[in-house]
Structure 1
């Protein structure tokens, strides 16, 4: 077996900033190159994301506009406790998923991330199916974000003054511009907007505590809305099951760190730091949002988003307004607009990099692999922006129905993608063991026993199959059934079709190529870890 090598290959060269060279052509000939300031070109893309970018991308990039109002749908479906439990269970899935991603991605930080890992270690047909499913998932979520933003912006500008299609055109032009400015600009936007969103959430949580304590003169609330008039759990198992789909739609995007690895300067250090922030994201962002919104907002409020909604309010707006802060809608909507810009920026980034990876490997038209001299895959970006026009579905049905159907389609696709990522990790681990590569050499080792990740695969597949069971109730809801399960046959058709046409075969464990893996960096002598770091390090190994 060839000796494991570091990320920067011997063929790498350093160029001055004003060097007159086609970076993409040089990268294709000699591999990764440095162009000054630590920026690296590889596979036509720039490794321009810093450690601070990766950490904030993992923590806050997909805290979108719908996190402020869409969580109200979870309250509407299952009540405050039901929503909290549903998001908690999916939170465990995501934590374990990120451990899987961290182990494989840190070892192989390549363009295309987990998509290309599946090609290399499972089966090209498996990767093809997962990649296109993942791309379609983000495409429908882009339409959902635009649709949700229109719902909120109509609070300020009614449809009589700005038609829905007008907002869609504005979004289309705006995001085509900012998403083609390059990965460094993307990283900076996500970094500063990420901090803004985190601070905004902290402010909303603090105000919620004041509201709950009666500081606005509305009287003490406590856990009143967990009891009267609806109770802590609504709609029994039906509502609880639907929360799983909604939760997947909000947790999805955490795995973006794997795709970003192809444009990260020091993946061996940056990726593990980003992976470890997911715990804070689960506890602070998702569990925090559900808890505080359920604390101050009654789950039977008619202003919460649901399938019949034509306009919707954030649970924060509802709770703050009931407490006496009549202008709170303006404050929350301003936060939502910033979150919307950041989330859509991240959504298009993921879409375009997934499509770019497909084109680079011949699984999509080659034109989508075209990049500018600055490493921007602008053809993939501009194509991905067009999926936002799905928001125009709200011209035929209510915006609430659009939200519900897109959430079901995207949520089921998310579970399929996660199952594929976890399965790839299990295959890689089996291959490493088969070839006698010791876990001590892994640059990042997933926490605990491998059985955690086997159980996580089972749990993900189980939820995938039960999340749409409410459609079977009398009367049978065929629209919900289709939106809940359409992605399963789609994935199978993509896999079987590609495998039949290209005659691909399963990669055997002893055939897996680990020669270019990154290895663990030993701590310098005399450098001591802190008390808690020592405990974590021992548990990991």
Structure 2
């Protein structure tokens, strides 16, 4: 085994920085300690738990799932979300194994940089940032779509809402990571309670408690059937599902600001099962049994306004002011989701700038450790919602969902591939899996298959655009992310002449849990350094 000095001499400045970050994590418990050239480790275990469960349950989860019903019917939507749910569960096992071992700023972006190829990390990071930028515009667009239920366009222009959103979230997002954590914590509970309440009310509607008569599974057979639009509708659900599931992996990015990642990250990873079952599959199931999939009020590409399936069902059952109730819940979810979206954007951009892959001024932080330049820049992407001035809000929702969904599969494939490389490198260097602070469930073939699924769905998700007549707008929104990511990868690799990291050269010396002999080497190295300094001082004194 190499000595600690030999290992250190081979490491790049970026890798040495990561070592300092992890050492800070091991030696300090104060959440107010500034790390990562300015960020603070202010997120606690309870924050991570709620972030993993509810952080990106946005406004569109309440109304956007209606698009899945519109595309593929109640059973088709449920099957599509179940398949993508399995992908996300396996993805989070990959995230948990690598992130718990290396809880550094930038999360999986920096893991790709260290263990795969800097060019691979560059392309992955910028695609991830652009993905969240598109989702930010989509959330603003969706909120406008719903708020027009209360305030028609003649009373509040579309651009007026975007200015209100920009001002509000610019202020909220720059209050610091602790405020972010607390907002997500309390609003997360509100969102989970709101979902549970909507599920309960859906059961009441389904059994006829509002005097509307028993429904049961009537909408699974009449008037459209359990699966509609055949393979076309079912295929489009995969893109929609990825757009909604994405964000589960943000606990990897949050690890750099988490007080005790060795305990918090595995807990957050395990919580994702409940998020998949309760939030996503629960939403699809309950909305599918109370709302007909052929309702003209469901969001679709032709929508100028839209209603949540819950609103449609509750009003159909006789609850006249259900729209006000559901819209209030949607507004709360919107605030939380955009807060989380900007957090991810800004931390990804900060990490890029910290490693020279974005302009250096994005690393500027306040005295409280807030990367306000990255935050305020990221907030500007919300103005993408102004696209709804030229086309319908439903078309904007459809295009943004397609772009964001395909980018999600690219990001997930990158995360899984990085995990496979790390596992192969650890095995190559003889590091036993028993030393992992968190080990992904089951065989490594689960994760190889998961990588295949992500790539397969990425390439086939836009096949409907090839039907006659060829839909070039849909084709661009479905596939623009693939050439863009390849261009980023090739361009950075050519310009910087980066090389693939070999398994035998991967540096695992700063992982969170180490073997006893490695710890002994570090202790001996520390003793030698201290002894050498003392001898030098004695010589000077004498």
Do the two structures share a fold, i.e. TM-score over 0.5?
yes
Counterpart among 439, 448, 453 of residue 447 in structure 2: 453
Aligned twin of 2:97:
103
Q: Which has the larger radius of gyration?
A: 2
Aligned twin of 1:22:
none
User: What does 1:143-158 correspond to in 2, within 5 Å?
Assistant: 143-158=137-152
- Tell me how far apart the structure 2 counterparts of residues 36 and 472 of structure 1 sit (CA, whole Å): 56
Q: Report the Cα offset of residue 38 of structure 1.
A: 3.6
The alignment of Structure 1 onto Structure 2 pairs a total of residues equal to 500
Q: Report the Cα offset of residue 2 of structure 1.
A: 6.7
Aligned twin of 1:539:
none
- Tell me how far apart the structure 2 counterparts of residues 149 and 521 of structure 1 sit (CA, whole Å): 51
- Tell me how far apart the structure 2 counterparts of residues 201 and 125 of structure 1 sit (CA, whole Å): 41
- Cα 1:83/1:3, change in 2 over 3 Å: farther
User: What does 1:105-124 correspond to in 2, within 5 Å?
Assistant: 105-124=99-118
User: What does 1:389-538 correspond to in 2, within 5 Å?
Assistant: 389-519=383-513
Q: Does 1:41 align with 2:34?
A: yes
Q: Report the Cα offset of residue 518 of structure 1.
A: 1.1
Q: Does 1:381 align with 2:396?
A: no
Query: Does the 8 Å CA contact 1:409/1:485 hold for their aligned counterparts?
Result: yes
Q: Does 1:65 align with 2:55?
A: no
Which deviations, in whole Å up to 9, do the C-alpha atoms of 1:318-362 show, x marking residues without a partner?
A: 000001101000000000000000000000000000000000000
Q: Report the Cα offset of residue 42 of structure 1.
A: 1.4
Aligned twin of 2:297:
303
Aligned twin of 1:347:
341
Q: Report the Cα offset of residue 519 of structure 1.
A: 1.5
Query: Does the 8 Å CA contact 1:408/1:484 hold for their aligned counterparts?
Result: yes
Q: Report the Cα offset of residue 74 of structure 1.
A: 0.1
- Cα 1:273/1:2, change in 2 over 3 Å: farther
- Tell me how far apart the structure 2 counterparts of residues 487 and 349 of structure 1 sit (CA, whole Å): 22
Query: Does the 8 Å CA contact 1:443/1:520 hold for their aligned counterparts?
Result: no
Aligned twin of 1:188:
182
User: What does 1:247-396 correspond to in 2, within 5 Å?
Assistant: 247-396=241-390
Query: Does the 8 Å CA contact 1:110/1:262 hold for their aligned counterparts?
Result: yes
Q: Which runs of 5+ in 2 are unaligned?
A: 5-19, 517-542
- Cα 1:236/1:3, change in 2 over 3 Å: farther
Aligned twin of 1:534:
none
Q: Report the Cα offset of residue 402 of structure 1.
A: 0.1
Q: Report the Cα offset of residue 73 of structure 1.
A: 0.2
Counterpart among 191, 207, 210 of residue 197 in structure 1: 191
- Cα 1:476/1:82, change in 2 over 3 Å: same
- Tell me how far apart the structure 2 counterparts of residues 298 and 257 of structure 1 sit (CA, whole Å): 36
Aligned twin of 1:138:
132
Aligned twin of 1:244:
238
Query: Does the 8 Å CA contact 1:33/1:41 hold for their aligned counterparts?
Result: no
- Tell me how far apart the structure 1 counterparts of residues 51 and 166 of structure 2 sit (CA, whole Å): 23
- Tell me how far apart the structure 2 counterparts of residues 319 and 32 of structure 1 sit (CA, whole Å): 50
Query: Does the 8 Å CA contact 1:33/1:40 hold for their aligned counterparts?
Result: no
Q: Which runs of 4+ in 1 moved over 4 A?
A: 1-4, 30-37
TM-score, normalised relative to structure 1: 0.91
TM-score, normalised relative to structure 2: 0.90
Matched residue SS, 2:348? helix
- Tell me how far apart the structure 2 counterparts of residues 35 and 368 of structure 1 sit (CA, whole Å): 26
Aligned twin of 2:168:
174
Q: Which runs of 5+ in 1 are unaligned?
A: 5-26, 523-541
Report the structure, 1 or 2, having the larger helix content: 2
Query: Does the 8 Å CA contact 1:64/1:340 hold for their aligned counterparts?
Result: yes
- Cα 1:427/1:155, change in 2 over 3 Å: same
- Tell me how far apart the structure 2 counterparts of residues 35 and 281 of structure 1 sit (CA, whole Å): 31
Which deviations, in whole Å up to 9, do the C-alpha atoms of 1:457-508 show, x marking residues without a partner?
A: 0001000000000000000000000000000000000000000000000000
- Cα 1:90/1:3, change in 2 over 3 Å: farther
Query: Does the 8 Å CA contact 1:440/1:520 hold for their aligned counterparts?
Result: no
Q: Report the Cα offset of residue 39 of structure 1.
A: 2.7
- Tell me how far apart the structure 2 counterparts of residues 89 and 270 of structure 1 sit (CA, whole Å): 27
Matched residue SS, 1:277? helix
Q: Report the Cα offset of residue 41 of structure 1.
A: 2.0
